[in-house]
Chains A and B, each alone.
Chain A
Amino acid sequence: MRGGRGDSAVERFSLAQRVEHFLLLISFNVLVITGLPQKYSGEGWGERLIVLFGGIGQTRFIHRTVAVILVALGLYHLLVVVATRKRPVRRHDMNLSIRDIRDMFADLRFLSGRSQERPRFGRFDYRQKFEYLAVLWGTVIMAVTGLIMWFPSLVTQWLPGVVVPAARVAHGGEALLAMLSVVLWHFYNAHFRPDVFPMDPAMFSGKITVERLRHEHPEEFDELQELGMLPEGHSPEPAGNPPAPTGSGTA
């Protein structure tokens, strides 16, 4: 991104996390492309896609198979979150706190030029946390409503039947919301933002340059420095303001 000691990098995502993200990427896309034509089956493009997949029977089969994979992935993820909650590095620091709300407003002030100081973000900034929680929450909603539609006979042994058409509406609505959010928000932040265009490689290489880390996740930079986990030349410097080669907003 910027010059200086830019070439040295630290690991941001483990191989397992990258594989997980890759599987999520694949399954999300397959679910969207087999699910949306079912929601919009009255449209010409919806019909054509369903014909392309070999008919509604096959479309549903693919959709449900991949959905099972995604749910399994989600359960695995929760397991890992619990198991690694005390790990000092590469933590799932996703718990939302009041600080993230404050960060968001502070960042909005910064972006709009009303403040010259960008809030100091930790391992994940408020945008990444919101997106993560949206994915988590969305997957839960999609899994629950999807299973209700898949097994209506079973579900209506305990629940009123109206949950079935309600689940159908929620499944379609949540799907549309998820897709639009990813297209707009994730694509912007991971692909189209001017500093990462055409894409942020961190999720595939697993590495982030120290320069970027210090710039975008200054608190994590400090933590890694304290732990002595930064590459040569970055540690052990005293915590606090490193000599800034650029006029960055990390203050």
Chain B
Amino acid sequence: MYWLILSAALWMLASPQAGLAQTNETCLACHQVEGSKVRFPGGGEIDVTVDPKKFAASVHAPLTCVTCHTDQADYPHRPVKAKTARSYHVLAQQICATCHADQAKVFEASIHGQGMRMGLADVPTCTSCHTAHAVVRPKTAAFRNNIPETCGNCHSDAAVMGRYGLRPVYQAYVEEFHGVTTRLYRLVTPLTPSPSAVCYDCHTAHAVRRPADPESPVAPANVLATCRTCHKEAGRFFSTAWNEHQAPSMRHSPLVYMVQVFYKILIPGVVGLLALLTALDLWFWAVTRWGGRKA
């Protein structure tokens, strides 16, 4: 009798979810099958495959599936509330907010959060940047070094950006000094955080605001202070170097544009002239050698 009570108590302590008869292995038995999809009546589908290796490597590995998917504990699963894939992702943010309430609050106040409340279809949800089941610690080098591509998923897409009166900025960033440096550091030292600025260093991560917002760190009045978080000794004109991720033109950074044009003319001009002189000299040698001209 004593042994029976003790083993029952141990069994219950060891597996708190045991009453629901659910362990990650149970879920993964089905969900690791590739190509498992859920179709939504209102449109869209979601791949419900979970790679056990990626999940085990994720920061959430100690959690059980039903820690987040509380309403999917039973099998057969209850139908999901969301009518579309998009609304599933939007609703899923509440799951993240259960633990990450601070970040959720900051996000709500951001321009992305505003767009979310307005129901805009392209606004990122938590999983757009962090993924659902392969979440890594945001402080890791891998996450930081990949930030330009994370943001660039949307901010390189002219069609998506155009809907909100924005320009794609990713392409300009990767050509800028910060972007080139980050890209090149990644080549040899992917496991060292890039010392060069990535998107969130200036724009923040969850609190992104439009640059015109006076509270934005990249608002005209705040840019210099933002530069000085890294460039401690930045001169007072430092931030006027900033061209807002635009290609130089007569309207934006005209000096840079004029230097570009200058070399676009000078290089072919000089090289062409030298090629002509060389060709003429060779011609002279040729007619001296074979054409019977006296040298």
Interface residues of A, Cβ cutoff 8 Å to B: 38, 41-42, 47, 50-51, 54-57, 108, 110-113, 116, 127, 149, 152-166, 168-170, 172-174, 176-177, 180-181, 184-185, 188, 193-195, 246-249
Contact = CB atoms under 8 A, between A and B. Distances in A.
B200 interface: no
Contact of A165 (B184, B256, B270): B256
A194 B280 CA distance: 13
Interface string B158-184: 000000000000000011010011011
Given A42-B175, A156-B237, 19 more contacts: A112-B280, A112-B283, A116-B294, A155-B235, A162-B240, A162-B255, A165-B241, A166-B256, A172-B263, A173-B259, A173-B262, A173-B263, A180-B267, A180-B270, A185-B274, A185-B277, A188-B281, A194-B289, A246-B295
B237 A161 contact: yes
A41 B240 contact: no
B174 to A, nearest CB: 8
Nearest to A108: B280
Interface in B185-209: 185, 187-189
A184 B181 contact: no
A166 B255 contact: yes
B11 interface: no
Contact of B238 (A108, A153, A169): A153
A55 B241 contact: no
5 contacts: A108-B277, A111-B280, A152-B231, A161-B235, A163-B241
Nearest to B278: A188
B72 interface: no
Given A113-B287, A181-B271, A248-B295, A51 B188 contact: yes
Given A161-B241, A176-B267, A177-B266, A50 B187 contact: yes
Contact of A157 (B189, B235, B289): B235
B275 interface: yes
B251 interface: no
Contacts of B185: 55-57
A241 B41 CA distance: 101
B25 to A, nearest CB: 42
Contact of B234 (A42, A113, A156, A246): A156
Given A152-B241, A169-B256, A180 B271 contact: yes
A41 to B, nearest CB: 5
A55 B255 CA distance: 31
Nearest to B196: A56
B239 A161 contact: yes
B267 A160 contact: no
Contacts of B280: 108, 111-112
B117 interface: no
Contacts of B259: 166, 169-170, 173
Given A54-B188, A169-B259, A177 B267 contact: yes
Contact of B184 (A50, A112, A193): A50
Nearest to B239: A161
A168 B177 contact: yes
A130 to B, nearest CB: 9
B156 interface: no
B187 A162 contact: no
Contacts of A161: 235, 237-242
A185 B278 contact: yes
A194 B285 contact: yes
A162 B253 contact: yes
Contacts of B270: 177, 180-181
Contacts of B248: 165, 169
B242 A55 contact: no
Given A153-B234, A184-B271, A113 B293 contact: yes
Contacts of A152: 231, 234, 238, 241
Contacts of B260: 169, 173
B235 A154 contact: yes
The 8 A-B residue pairs whose C-beta atoms are closest, nearest first, are: A161-B241, A173-B263, A157-B235, A156-B235, A55-B188, A56-B184, A161-B240, A156-B238
Given A56-B188, A156-B235, A173-B267, A162 B285 contact: no
Contacts of A168: 177
Interface string B72-102: 0000000000000000000000000000000
A60 to B, nearest CB: 9
Nearest to A247: B294
Nearest to B253: A162
Given A155-B235, A156-B237, A161-B242, A249 B184 contact: no
A181 B268 CA distance: 11
Contact of B284 (A111, A127, A149): A111
B243 interface: yes
